[in-house]
Amino acid sequence: MQKATTKRQRIALWTLISPTLFWLTVFFAIPLLVILFYSFLKRGTYGGLVYEFTLNNYVRFFDSLYIKIFLRSFRIAAITTLLSLLVGYPVAYWMATRPARWRNTLLLLMMLPFWTNFLVRTYAWIVLFSRKGIINAALVHAGLIDKPLSLLFNERAVIVGLVYGWVVQMILPCYASILGFDFSLVEAAKDLYANDLKAFTKIILPLTMPGIVAGSILVFIPSLGAYVTPDLLGGGKTAMIGNLISQQFGSANDWPFGSAISMVLMVLMMIGTVVYFRIAVSGDKTSTGKGG
């Protein structure tokens, strides 16, 4: 990559950059600063904003009600991530160890549902889970249960919906790191340990860790910020951070508090992303060691 040295090059550079720079500054960076600003304001008696500085919105998190929603969101996001790993890693392993001519087809098969409208995919679970849904109808019909089970509107349904929504983001990076894994190391290990489980936990797992970490962050981030899934599959009782924010900008009409929650959520996401890049970079370093 070169430096833009001549005047002509500098003009070209800024011409190419300025439309995006303008758009993202005005319609992204400034709105971000607006809610940062709002998060330090007071709410008026009937909603609205009072231009007085306060830290109260950030202190309010520690109310037991909000702490509960935060903890629930973290729990749901963590369980979703763990389940995605348990469900997804073996699939990634299987795909990466298939013959090369199959792999692209398998990847395509996996991505097709992932690129289908998220609302529609969430709705599909309502069709399956609702009281008069497919699963209940089948179970009643088979005589296994008398009255329908309540499968919908609980934490379990939210977790199923989130795993279904994001597991592909776990599989892709795991698949990539297993694909780059040198299986002659396993042969060498087996000659020494003669145990599949040990070869897996001591060689394969540590060396594909960058993929696991990347996948975990790619699942954890959207799960933590989820809005649609808890709203549709969780009902009112399993609200997550996203629903709390939406409520502050809607019915609760407390924009300063909503802004503060939103800022905290964004900062958490950014920390996650920085960790992701740290690990992605160190992952690159270990993979260059293999030379190939």
List the interface residues with other proteins, window 161-180 (CB under 8 A): 164, 172
Q: How far apart are CA 88 and CA 170, in angstroms?
A: 6
Closest contact distance (angstroms) between CB of 112 and other proteins is 5
- Residue number with CB closer to other proteins (154 or 235): 235
Name the packing angle between helices 155-179 and 209-224 (round to 10°): 150
Residue 188 contacts other proteins per CB under 8 A: no
Distance of CA 138 to the CA centre of its chain: 33
User: Under 8 Å CB-to-CB from 188, ≥6 apart: which residues?
Assistant: none
Which residue, 95 or 219, is less far from other proteins as judged by CB?
A: 95
CA atoms within 13 A on the CB side of 142: 8
CA distance 257 to 267: 15
Least separation in angstroms between CB 62 and other proteins: 21
Give yes or no for residue 58 binding other proteins (CB under 8 A): no
| Interactions with other proteins, residue window 17-36 (CB under 8 A) | 17, 19-21, 23-25, 27-32, 34-35
Across 158-171, b (16+ Cβ under 10 Å) vs e yields: bbbbbbbbbbbbbb
* 102 forms part of the interface with other proteins (CB under 8 A): no
Smaller CB separation from other proteins, 163 or 207 = 163
For residue 238, the minimal CB distance to other proteins (Å) is 16
Q: How many residues does the chain have?
A: 292
Q: How far is the CB of 216 from other proteins (least distance, A)?
A: 15
